[in-house]
């Protein structure tokens, strides 16, 4: 009992002591807060507040020595019982604080001071030291400012006064200035100065040879004296050769530059970590140095160093960026970086892109000199080496070996990797950083995006290859932090996923050490009902590669926008569409008729569900019915569709429950300067960065936010092709020099040519319509994306059928290219449609469009090839053989002894060329720029073909009643892609029961193959076999797939079956 109460007493005593100490420290802090007070006053106050912090405060007295000043508590007397700590300023001892117990009776003889009291005194002296240092710095700055003021006010007066002043207040500055003056004089060719320099250097050299490494203090002092001497001489020379004004001007510049030394040193030193740089910048900022103007060179030097350290070593980028940023622009970013200790990491391509774009746009003016007023969302960056730090901390470095494994293995292990990463621990400094970021974001939804160092490499657009994760960021701090860490871990894991690795493999970037920085961005938007979303968002491009009218120029740009999160505008969706506009031609719309507008307007919207903490896709109408009134600027986004008409209505007149609301963006496009601003943004960025750009944007209804900016890269299918000049004339099929987009078709095996003259001569509407039906059927039987459609005038014409083949999108959806031929009629050339009837479908499914003007000057059009080559229509679709005068289907390989057709298109030079070539005979120059080999190099067909043979070998014809088994389609043609199925044709003669058994047996194979394919490629499917059963009857009548057997072109190949048992 006793012992316990004693313990308790001890505890209370301890606590009391801690309270005293804290109280003391608090009082000290209070005093040191005042930077304007005189040091003397500070010390006087300190000696009063220190003693109460000590255990025996009544007998505690304090003595402070500072330089030659001494301060002590009243009743002070020196005893043996004391603590002492030195005041250190700039590594020099400038004084000390001592705490004495003046009455030692009854005190512990050994050490009457508590360990915490020793710490306390140390803390106090450190604080005092810092305080003195700070005051000193402040004074220096003030003095320098005074000097500057003097310079300003004495411009035309005697500069010697200033020199004297500097000499008296800051001798080292004086020396540096004189040195600069010396260099300057030498530079402008003053002989006297050169002589002086030589003599000085000689002297210096002779002095330093003895002690190369160490200048001891006495000799340094001598040095300074002699140098001061020398300096005086420099100024004498200067006064002889320079005007007073020149001298003054130079002084001014040099003094300012001098103040930045510490910053440049920190930036230049390879050893300085991000932390050091952060400190240097904040020192620069707090010293108020940013208020003075720097000389251009110094400014650029600092910019280059900062860009280099934070963003990239890529010279192209630095070259541009250095002109648009300023040290001040780094303040924000420096305070919003999460990095490990001693970090030398960078922030990655995405951060770099947006930083540069924002700084270019910040001061730019738009149309009519209006401020563009571009914003960027609140952003935090995690440096690239944080990932290593994370891996190292969790012993996960072996993940880096992942990329050298086979894709199958990578895919198999990927799920596991994600789990391992998600279950890993975060180092403490990272947790602190993320926590700080979360405090900054509050409960606003955020998105975590990768910002790979590979991303800023030209030609390698990793868009969407690494994950971006949206977080609703709702709930307690702990929940939010856990969700954020989960997201970061997942994105880290995605570096080791099969898709990015395969992508890097294809581009030869596998060995490049991938370091991924991350950015955490506040999601732009507002709360609408239970959801959070921007009013609208999208992507915009400097170059319009999908022109829907000849009046739209390439440089008119392109915007793809959607309501809600911009995710739907980035991806191409097959069942929903973004709104397309050309900012340079906002009035030329893609969709004109109400049917077109309805069909191609966005129906769904991506949002963040704040209630369920999730990312969701919902129907726009459902959202508007419930919360339309809360949706900012909704009246600019939707039009009311009534009586076959779209009207924009003011918010007051919108009835969200009953109106038929269609997303048109009509209000935004024609009623606001949005597109003008967009055009200005694209133009300015293109002009300043010297390349076409691609930006992501979003708006909360009030402001325009820039989310991302990078060089407009070419997706796989719109790289400009170099047009070869050395193609023999007989191999050229056609060329084009108008309205050409970018792209390349390398392996066209068939041409479907609707002869314009013959089409024109058709007499009845029946005949004209049958052409459309025939093409529709040809579209079904020819190999997908391996043929092109060529025809007169306007494909898909709905009005006057004479103008072009009457057909819908589904009738052409397998073609690789749609060509409209505008042949001269008398003295006029008809207008082409530019694919308007299904324009957006062409865009979303990457079908190329090309208009041909065969009668133009300098245009080659090998009409003979089309009209005289063997026409396989009769064999392909016997029921349409009566149309063979009009429709020519040409099997190119057959009529050219194995050649195929290549079409190269280049929008930059506005040229396209189609020519015949052997598949193996690659034209040198065109292949050199082949940045992106197609994924077909993976030989997807080969294993498919092997498996098909194996299935046939295992198939017991007696058991299943099978007469023959064939393979056709992409596998047989060796063009299978990762998503292709295996087309099997079975000639069946058995009973219903056998048929059922056979299908079951094949289903088993199909599922297994689908799994194998998934392992290899990541494409999931319900089965890989596409089985077509045909009977004797089918073969006789040549119905359905039976025509594939013994077909003239692309016939099915028979497979060997198991010997009949």
Partner 1 sequence: MSRTFNAFEMAQKQFDDVAEILNLDEATKDLLRNPIREYHFSIPVKMDDGTSKVFRGFRCQHNDARGPGKGGIRFHPQETIDTVRALSMWMTWKCAVVDIPLGGSKGGVICDPHNLSEREQEQICRGWVRKIARDVGPLQDVPAPDVMTSAQHMLWMLDEYEAIRGAKYPGMITGKPVGMGGSLGRTEATGYGVIFTVREALKEMNIKPADTTAAFQGFGNVAQYAIKLYNQLGGKVVCVSSWDQADNTSYTFAKADGIDVDALLSITDRFGGIDKEKAKALGYEVLSGDKWIEQEVDILIPAALENQITKDNVDKISSKVKIIAEGANGPTTPEADAVIKERGIHMIPDFLANAGGVTCSYFEQVQCNMNYYWEKDEVFGKLDVKMTSAYLDVSKLAKEKNLYMRDAAYVISINKVAQASRDRGWI
Contact residues for partner 1 (CB under 8 A)?
548-551, 574-575, 585, 587-590, 592-595, 598-599, 642-645, 670, 758, 760-769, 793-794, 798-800, 802-803, 809-810, 813, 830-831, 833-834, 836
b/e per residue, 428-446, with b = 16+ CB within 10 A? ebbeebbbebbeebeebbb
Q: Are 548 and 836 in contact (CB under 8 A)?
A: yes
In this structure, are residues 1021 and 1010 in contact, taking their beta carbons and an 8 Å threshold? yes
By beta-carbon proximity to partner 1, the closer residue of 381 and 620 is 620
Provide the minimum distance between the beta carbon of 715 and partner 1 in the complex, in angstroms, as a whole number: 24
3-class DSSP state of 487: helix
Half-sphere exposure in the Cβ direction for 130 (13 Å, CA):
10
- Residue number, 424 or 760, with CB nearest to partner 1: 760
CB of 770 to partner 1, least distance (A): 9
- What sign does the dihedral 843-969-772-763 (CA atoms) show? positive
* Least distance in angstroms from the C-beta of 588 to partner 1: 6
Nearer to partner 1, 215 or 592 (CB): 592
CB-wise, 763 or 921, nearer to partner 1? 763
Spatial contact of 910 and 738, defined as CB atoms under 8 Å apart = yes
State how far the Cα of 352 lies from the Cα of 943, in Å rounded to an integer.
43
How far, in Å, CA of 238 to CA of 928, rounded?
60
Q: Are 247 and 177 in contact (CB under 8 A)?
A: no
The neighbour count for residue 555, using CB atoms within 10 Å, is 15
Phi-psi region at 390: left, alpha or beta (left = phi > 0; alpha = psi -120 to 50): alpha
Distance CA 312, CA 298 (A): 20
Beta-carbon count within 10 A of 312 CB: 21
Q: How far is the CB of 836 from partner 1 (least distance, A)?
A: 4
Nearer to partner 1, 801 or 1045 (CB): 801
Please report how close the Cβ of residue 810 comes to partner 1 at its closest, in angstroms.
4
Under a CB-based contact definition with an 8 Å cutoff, are residues 1031 and 859 in contact? no
Residue closest to 371 by CA, chosen among 681, 585, 584: 681
How far from each other are the two terminal CA atoms of the chain, in whole angstroms?
97
Half-sphere exposure of 492 (CA within 13 A, CB side): 30
Question: Nearest 5°: CA angle at 611, between 606 and 617?
Answer: 15
Q: Which residue has the tokens 């990491």?
A: 345
Q: How far is the CB of 995 from partner 1 (least distance, A)?
A: 20
Nearer to partner 1, 60 or 605 (CB): 605
Nearer to partner 1, 445 or 791 (CB): 791
Nearest 5°: CA angle at 777, between 776 and 779? 65
User: CB of 507 within 8 A of CB of 452?
Assistant: no
Least spacing, CB of residue 510 vs partner 1, in Å: 38
C-alpha count within 13 angstroms, C-beta hemisphere, residue 408: 6
Min separation Cβ 1054 and partner 1, Å: 30
Closer residue to partner 1 (CB): 75 or 799? 799
To partner 1, the closest distance from the beta carbon of 549 in angstroms equals 4
Minimum separation from the CB atom of position 1033 to partner 1 (A): 18
Nearer Cβ to partner 1, position 214 or 643?
A: 643
Q: How far, in Å, CA of 849 to CA of 854, rounded?
A: 16
Closest CB to partner 1 among 52 and 830?
A: 830
Distance in Å, CB of 653 to partner 1, minimum: 12
Closer to partner 1 at the Cβ: 886 or 1027? 886
Q: Which is nearer to partner 1, 551 or 942 (CB)?
A: 551
Q: Name the nearest CA neighbour of 532 among 474, 477, 483.
A: 474
**Min. distance of Cβ 512 from partner 1 in angstroms?**
41
Cβ-based nearer residue to partner 1, 619 or 687: 619
Cβ pair 103, 59 in contact under 8 A: yes
Q: Toward partner 1, which CB reaches closer, 566 or 772?
A: 772
Judged by beta carbon, residue 580 or residue 722, the one nearer partner 1 is 580
Q: Which is nearer to partner 1, 283 or 769 (CB)?
A: 769
Of the candidates 485, 415, 495, 482, the residue with the CA atom closest to the CA atom of residue 451? 495
Residue 556 CA from chain centroid, whole number: 23
541: left (phi over 0), alpha (psi -120 to 50) or beta: beta
Query: Please, what is the minimum distance in Å from the beta carbon of residue 793 to partner 1?
Result: 7
Nearer to partner 1, 341 or 810 (CB): 810
Other beta carbons within 10 angstroms of residue 392's beta carbon come to 13
Our CA dihedral for 1010, 1015, 1020, 1022, rounded to 10 degrees, sits at: 20
Q: How far is the CB of 717 from partner 1 (least distance, A)?
A: 22
DSSP 327: T
Q: Are 63 and 71 in contact (CB under 8 A)?
A: yes
Residue 798 CB, nearest distance to partner 1 (Å)? 8
CB of 594 to partner 1, least distance (A): 6
- Which value, in Å, is the radius of gyration of the alpha carbons in the chain? 39
> CB 567 → partner 1: shortest distance, Å?
21
Angle at 167 between CA 161 and CA 171, to 5 degrees: 160
Other beta carbons within 10 Å of 326: 15
H-helix or E-strand containing 195? Answer: helix 191-208
Q: Which residue has the tokens 């739907």?
A: 568
Contact 382, 339 (CB under 8 A): yes
User: Which H or E run includes 988?
Assistant: strand 982-988
- Whole-angstrom Cα distance, residue 221 to residue 200? 16
Q: Which is nearer to partner 1, 118 or 798 (CB)?
A: 798
As measured in angstroms, the least distance from the Cβ of 429 to partner 1 is 51
């Amino acid at each position: 009992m006793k012992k316990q109460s004693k313990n308790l007493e001890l505890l209370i005593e301890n606590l009391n002591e801690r309270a005293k100490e804290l109280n003391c420290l608090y009082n000290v802090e209070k005093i040191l807060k005042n930077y304007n007070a005189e040091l003397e006053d500070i010390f006087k106050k300190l000696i009063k507040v220190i003693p109460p912090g000590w255990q025996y405060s009544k007998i505690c007295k304090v003595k402070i020595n500072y330089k030659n000043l001494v301060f002590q508590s009243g009743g002070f007397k020196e005893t043996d019982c004391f603590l002492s700590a030195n005041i250190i300023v700039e590594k020099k001892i400038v004084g000390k604080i001592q705490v004495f117990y003046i009455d030692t009776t009854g005190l512990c003889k050994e050490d009457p001071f508590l360990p915490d009291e020793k710490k306390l005194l140390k803390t106090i002296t450190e604080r005092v030291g810092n305080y003195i240092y700070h005051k000193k710095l402040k004074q220096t700055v003030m003095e320098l400012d005074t000097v500057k003021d003097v310079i300003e006010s004495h411009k035309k007066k005697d500069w010697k006064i200033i020199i004297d002043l500097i000499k008296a207040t800051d001798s080292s500055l004086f020396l540096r200035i004189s040195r600069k003056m010396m260099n300057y004089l030498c530079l402008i060719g003053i002989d006297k100065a050169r002589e002086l320099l030589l003599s000085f250097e000689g002297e210096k050299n002779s002095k330093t040879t003895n002690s190369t490494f160490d200048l001891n203090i006495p000799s340094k002092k001598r040095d300074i004296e002699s140098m001061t001497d020398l300096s005086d001489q420099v100024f004498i020379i200067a006064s002889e050769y320079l005007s007073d004004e020149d001298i003054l001007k130079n002084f001014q510049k040099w003094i300012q530059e001098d103040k930045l030394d510490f910053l440049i040193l920190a930036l230049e030193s390879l050893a300085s970590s991000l932390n050091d740089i952060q400190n240097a910048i904040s020192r620069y900022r707090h010293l108020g140095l940013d208020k003075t103007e720097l000389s251009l060179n110094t400014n650029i030097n600092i910019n280059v160093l900062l860009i280099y350290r934070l963003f990239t070593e890529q010279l192209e980028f630095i070259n541009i960026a250095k002109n648009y940023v300023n040290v001040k622009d780094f303040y924000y970013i420096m305070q919003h970086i999460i990095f490990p200790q001693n970090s030398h990491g960078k922030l990655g391509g995405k951060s770099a892109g947006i930083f540069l774009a924002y700084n270019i746009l910040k001061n730019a003016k738009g149309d009519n000199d209006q401020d563009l007023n571009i914003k960027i969302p609140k952003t935090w960056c995690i440096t690239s080496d944080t990932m290593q730090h994370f891996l190292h901390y969790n012993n996960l470095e072996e993940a880096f070996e992942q990329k050298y494994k086979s894709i199958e293995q990578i895919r198999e292990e990927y799920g596991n990797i994600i789990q391992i990463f998600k279950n890993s621990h975060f180092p403490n400094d990272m947790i602190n950083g993320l926590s700080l970021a979360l405090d900054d974001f509050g409960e606003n939804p955020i998105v975590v995006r990768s910002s790979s160092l590979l991303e800023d490499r030209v030609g390698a657009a990793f868009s969407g290859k690494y994950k971006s994760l949206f977080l609703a960021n709702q709930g307690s701090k702990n929940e939010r932090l856990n969700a954020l860490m989960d997201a970061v871990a997942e994105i880290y894991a995605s570096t080791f996923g099969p898709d990015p690795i395969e992508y890097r493999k294809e581009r030869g970037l596998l060995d490049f050490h991938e370091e991924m920085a991350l950015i955490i961005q506040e999601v732009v938007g507002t709360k609408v009902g239970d959801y959070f979303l921007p009013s609208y968002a999208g992507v915009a491009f400097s170059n319009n590669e999908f022109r829907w009218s000849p009046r739209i120029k390439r440089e008119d740009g392109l915007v793809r926008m959607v309501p809600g999160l911009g995710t739907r505008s980035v991806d191409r969706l097959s069942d929903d569409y973004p709104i397309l506009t050309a900012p340079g031609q906002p009035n030329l719309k893609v969709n004109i008729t109400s049917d077109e507008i309805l069909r191609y307007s966005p129906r769904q919207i991506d949002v963040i569900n704040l209630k369920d903490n999730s990312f969701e896709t919902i129907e726009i109408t459902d959202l508007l019915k419930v919360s339309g009134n809360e949706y900012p600027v909704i009246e600019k986004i939707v039009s009311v569709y009534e009586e076959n008409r779209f009207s924009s209505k003011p918010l007051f007149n919108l009835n969200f429950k009953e109106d038929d609301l269609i997303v048109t963006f009509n209000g935004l496009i024609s009623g606001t300067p949005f597109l003008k601003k967009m055009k200005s943004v694209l133009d300015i960025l293109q002009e300043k960065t010297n390349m076409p750009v691609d930006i992501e944007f979003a708006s909360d209804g009030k402001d325009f936010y820039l989310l991302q900016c990078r060089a407009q890269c070419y997706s796989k299918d719109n790289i400009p092709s170099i047009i070869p000049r050395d193609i023999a004339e007989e191999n050229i099929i056609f060329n084009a020099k108008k309205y050409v987009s970018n792209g390349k078709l390398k392996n066209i095996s068939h041409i479907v040519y609707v002869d314009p003259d013959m089409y024109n001569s058709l007499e009845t509407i029946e005949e004209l319509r049958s052409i459309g039906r025939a093409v529709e059927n040809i579209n079904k039987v020819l190999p997908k994306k391996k043929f092109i459609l060529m025809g007169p005038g306007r494909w898909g014409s709905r009005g006057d059928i004479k103008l072009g083949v009457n057909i819908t999108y589904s009738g052409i959806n397998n073609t690789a290219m749609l060509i409209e031929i505008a042949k001269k009629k008398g003295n006029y050339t008809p207008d082409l449609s530019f694919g308007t009837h299904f324009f957006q479908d062409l865009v979303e499914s990457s079908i190329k469009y090309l208009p041909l003007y065969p009668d133009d000057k300098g245009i080659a059009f090998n009409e003979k090839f089309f009209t005289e080559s063997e026409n396989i229509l009769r064999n392909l679709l016997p029921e349409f053989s009566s149309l063979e005068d009009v429709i020519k289907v040409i099997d190119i390989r057959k009529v050219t002894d194995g050649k195929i057709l290549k079409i190269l298109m280049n929008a930059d030079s506005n040229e396209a060329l189609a020519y015949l070539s052997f598949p193996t005979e690659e034209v040198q120059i065109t292949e050199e720029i082949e940045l992106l080999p197609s994924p077909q190099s993976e030989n997807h067909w080969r294993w498919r073909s092997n498996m098909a043979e194996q299935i046939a070998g295992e198939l017991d014809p007696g058991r299943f009643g099978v007469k023959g088994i064939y393979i056709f389609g992409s596998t047989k043609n060796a063009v299978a892609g990762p998503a292709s199925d295996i087309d099997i044709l079975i000639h069946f003669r058995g009973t219903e029961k056998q048929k059922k058994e056979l299908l079951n047996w094949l289903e088993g194979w199909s599922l297994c193959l689908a799994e194998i394919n998934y392992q290899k490629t990541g494409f999931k499917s319900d089965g890989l076999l596409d089985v077509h059963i045909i009977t004797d009857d089918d073969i006789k009548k040549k119905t359905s797939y039976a025509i594939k057997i013994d077909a003239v072109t692309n016939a099915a190949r028979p497979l060997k079956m198991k010997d009949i048992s």
